[in-house]
């Protein structure tokens, strides 16, 4: 999909995270640190990814998704965002996640309710901010008891002014209902993409009914997940056919499909490649037809 002038991220429209308005096409920071964001691989080229962040903002991206646990041996996503974009513009919204953590060796840890404040303060320090716009509580497992305690602790940090708005990640409908009995929820960030399960679809629809932003992760990567883009996992013939028909890439079709699942759906594709960034942002202007959407629904 080529354009004489790259369309801005605003081409997909806007949504509100509480009192914060964002363009629906945003940016995910996970890949900024290099292939080692999760597997201790090769760190990214610092100058290159700083340029990607600045270019993203130039293209109209005003919603960044990050986390303190996005780091490789030499790179921290939060520090890169701070270095590239501070002092931050008034319309830039930075969403981060707590719950999981990693020690310096990269080993995973999961916070107790008492440890969440330390995770929030670490994000504040790395980003150079006095409060966080949106904090998503990412959970593991299906049990409600630890989740309720964790979200309650995060709600206390919101009351203390360290956090402006709260969201959830990797949750089901019961978690969403439990959280809303404690504090307002402005977004849900779950795995979702073409071929989504009925359970995943149900959460998306519930968020739409309640005017809560739904923010898919792995919308492009699909089953490839952290390992790489969807092309490496094998694309459905329908996706490839539709991409050819529009002169677009597979990634652009997947992003356009994601955005057309509801006005409350946001996209946060990430990349450390400036060319891929422009391609991803251009997907904000791609509109799939009704028959194309129906065909993809059968994938």
Dihedral Cα 124, 127, 128, 130, nearest 10 deg:
-40
The phi, psi pair for 191, rounded to 5°, reads -70, 135
CA gap 82, 148 in Å, rounded: 32
DSSP lists the bridge partners of residue 20 as 17
The label of the residue with tokens 């404040």 reads 117
Helices (H) and strands (E) in the chain, counts: 11, 11
Please tell me which residue in 15, 27, 38, 70 is annotated as part of the active site: 70
Token pair recorded at residue 218: 């792995």
Active site residue 192: no
CB 178 within 8 A of CB 144: yes
Dihedral Cα 208, 211, 212, 214, nearest 10 deg:
30
CA gap 283, 12 in Å, rounded: 8
Q: How close are the terminal C-alpha atoms of the chain, in Å?
A: 22
Residues acting as catalytic residues: 70
């Amino acid at each position: 999909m080529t354009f004489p002038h790259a369309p801005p991220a605003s081409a997909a429209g806007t949504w509100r995270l509480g009192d914060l308005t964002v363009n629906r096409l945003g940016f995910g920071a996970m890949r900024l640190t290099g292939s080692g964001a999760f597997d201790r691989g090769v760190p990214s080229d610092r100058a290159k990814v700083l340029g990607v962040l600045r270019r993203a903002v130039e293209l109209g991206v005003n919603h960044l998704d990050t986390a303190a646990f996005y780091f490789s041996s030499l790179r921290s996503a939060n520090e890169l965002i701070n270095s590239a974009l501070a002092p931050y513009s008034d319309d830039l919204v930075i969403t981060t996640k707590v719950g999981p953590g990693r020690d310096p060796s990269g080993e995973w840890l999961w916070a107790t309710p008492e440890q969440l404040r330390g995770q929030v303060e670490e994000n504040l320090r790395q980003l150079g901010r006095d409060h966080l716009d949106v904090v998503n509580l990412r959970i593991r497992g299906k049990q409600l008891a630890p989740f309720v305690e964790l979200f309650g602790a995060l709600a206390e940090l919101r009351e203390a002014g360290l956090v402006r708005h709260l969201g959830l990640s990797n949750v089901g409908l019961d978690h969403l209902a439990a959280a809303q009995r404690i504090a307002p929820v402005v977004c849900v960030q779950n795995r979702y993409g073409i071929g989504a399960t009925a359970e995943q679809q149900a959460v998306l629809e519930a968020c739409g009914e309640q005017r809560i932003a739904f923010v898919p992760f792995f919308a492009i990567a699909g089953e490839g997940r952290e390992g790489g883009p969807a092309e490496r996992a094998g694309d459905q013939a329908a996706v490839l056919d539709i991409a050819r028909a529009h002169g677009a890439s597979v990634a652009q079709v997947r992003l356009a499909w994601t955005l057309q699942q509801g006005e409350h759906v946001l996209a946060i594709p990430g990349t450390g490649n400036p060319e891929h960034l422009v391609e991803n942002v251009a997907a904000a202007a791609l509109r799939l037809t009704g028959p194309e959407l129906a065909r993809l629904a059968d994938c």
